[in-house]
Amino acid sequence: MYTHKISFATHYVEIYALFLLQIFPSFDTRNSMTAIDFTGIRKVGQDLHRPECVLAMQDGSVLCSDWRGGVTIIWPSGEQQLVRNQTLNIELRPNGIGLLSDGTFLIAHLGETAGGLYRLLPDGNCEEVLTHLDGEQLPPSNYPHVDHYGRIWLTVSTCRVPRQLAYRADVSDGFIVLITEQGARVVADGIGYTNECCVHPDGNRLFVNETFARRTISYDISKNGDLSNRKTIAEYGHGTYPDGLVFDSDCNLWITSIISNRVICCTEDGRQLILIEDADRGFVETAEEAFHAGELNASHLMGSSETYLKNISSLAFGGPDRKTVYLGNLNGDSIFTFRSEVAGYAPPYQKYALQTPAQAS
């Protein structure tokens, strides 16, 4: 391993490069994966509001959640368009987002005390998809993943209010809701702060990040969508809190970590490569001490002002060759992007066409 330090602003960024063939023989090295050149990371978009979740299309369009109550589209021309809730009497707080085959958006609502899943049309009309289950209000909701069959996997991180009461290793009350034409039901629970999830390219397994249990797990998916055979895929150490999750074209997982601003490539047998790290070491140490003391709170998730990346939380591969990577984040007003030597696996939503408000009317 070698460590290359580059001066950026007032701090040092460490980029780690591991020789995959020698140290990580299980990595598929057909694409000669190497560490990302930090100097090639640039910003896309401006004046965004908590762009936590990002989706990327092959035409160069980028979508991100917007805390003002909707989704911001950044078109290939650079023009931005905010689509926000205009009809429901609710202060919609988008966390994770999805795109449906008809060009409408799914929004996981991360309210202070209540959650749910909403469908937002390009003209601003908004409707409930799921707000209650078994007669109970859904807690603040994290992320909706739409698979190739059109099934929606909605993650709920915790039942505790406020959420920061679950920023602990000993709390595992998160769950996953499966939504199909037949209805909605809980298909997995007992999860340590459920974050992003993604169906494996083989279609038979669901992978899930447990942010404060600090691991990635998987389930087998039955024909009716039931989940079973829970397995631990990867466990993460000091400074890593897994949030976003996608697959590349070789079926490796790409994970984003809040707090430490890491992008990690992980094989299915748990081997890990840090592709990017932009960490304020003092801030990470403070967060680690709080976490182990059971005192991690929302202030630690605000990230450090001394880093270029702003608490990265999600990742998407886009562009014609799916080698342009976009990073969503909690604290910035732009999205970050860089080029990858490895292409991403094509998510289902890239088959769908975005609509303008004029097309929707």
pLDDT digits (tens, 9 = 90+) for 259-302: 999 999 999 999 999 999 999 999 999 999 999 999 999 999 88
What confidence category does residue 28 fall into, taking pLDDT thresholds of 50, 70 and 90?
A: very low
- Give CA–CA dist 350/302, Å, rounded: 31
What mean pLDDT do residues 135-157 have?
98
C-alpha distances (whole Å) from 59 to each of 56, 62, 243, 324 are 9, 9, 26, 11
Tell me which of 341 and 361 has the higher pLDDT.
341
Q: Which of the residue ranges 12-26, 97-111, 112-126 would you say has the lowest mean pLDDT?
A: 12-26
Residue 235: phi, psi to the nearest 5?
Answer: -115, 140
2-360 folds as Neuraminidase (2.120.10)
Residue labelled with tokens 């679950």: 166
pLDDT at 38: 81
Write the pLDDT tens digit of every residue in 93-103: 999 999 999 99
Q: Which of the residue ranges 6-10, 110-114, 147-151 would you say has the lowest mean pLDDT?
A: 6-10
Write the pLDDT tens digit of every residue in 61-92: 999 999 999 999 999 999 999 999 999 999 99
What confidence category does residue 36 fall into, taking pLDDT thresholds of 50, 70 and 90?
A: confident
What confidence category does residue 30 fall into, taking pLDDT thresholds of 50, 70 and 90?
A: very low
What confidence category does residue 358 fall into, taking pLDDT thresholds of 50, 70 and 90?
A: low
Percentage of the chain beyond pLDDT 70 is: 89
Write the pLDDT tens digit of every residue in 223-262: 999 999 999 999 999 999 999 999 999 999 999 999 999 9
51 is written with which tokens?
Answer: 């762009």
Q: What is the DSSP string of 241-260?
A: EEEEEEEBTTS-EEEEEETT
- Is residue 164 helix, strand or coil? helix
What mean pLDDT do residues 191-206 have?
98
- Is residue 207 helix, strand or coil? strand
Exposure string of 35-52, with b = 16+ CB inside 10 Å and e = fewer, is bbebeebeebbeebbbbb
Q: Taking the domains of the chain in order of start, what are their residue ranges?
A: 2-360
Beta strands in 70-199 (DSSP E): 70-74, 80-84, 94-99, 105-109, 117-120, 126-130, 132-133, 136-137, 143-146, 152-156, 174-180, 183-191, 194-199
- Give CA–CA dist 29/252, Å, rounded: 11
pLDDT at 35: 73
- Is residue 60 helix, strand or coil? coil
Q: Is the preceding omega at residue 122 within 30 degrees of 0, hence cis?
A: no
